Amino acid sequence: MEREDQVINAQPDLEKVKALDGLLLHITSKGKEKYDCVSRTFAPKLAVDEDPVCGSGHCHLVPLWSKKVGKKEISAYQASSRGGVLYCELSGSRVKLAGQAALYSRGELCIEI
């Protein structure tokens, strides 16, 4: 989008989003002041109307914005109602993400050999 406020104020029709190809819809713009880019991610096909802070989404967005702003390290803000800041680095074909997170699950995997 052209401006950060358009991303923040967008109200996509989630039924129409379901008809699009792919699982995620990202909307994004250049950040106004503090961040290199601002985004929101919607995944109604996965029963997630809006992802609060989407790491996998930023794996799509970081190469785009890294090229646009001419930097390998960028700061990104996901403008969902919860919101979150990601510190991102494009490292070859990989995207490295950092930021604050909360543990939401713990598991154990046993594999018989």
Q: What is the pLDDT of residue 110?
A: 92
Give the span between the Cα atoms of 28 and 101, in whole angstroms: 22
The per-residue pLDDT for range 92-112, each reduced to its tens digit, is 999 999 999 888 899 999 999
**CA neighbor of 14 nearest in space, from 51, 49, 59:** 49
Q: How confident is the model at residue 113 (pLDDT cuts 50, 70, 90)?
A: confident
Give the span between the Cα atoms of 109 and 9, in whole angstroms: 42
The pTM (predicted TM-score) of the whole model is 0.85
In the predicted model, what is the mean pLDDT of the chain? 94
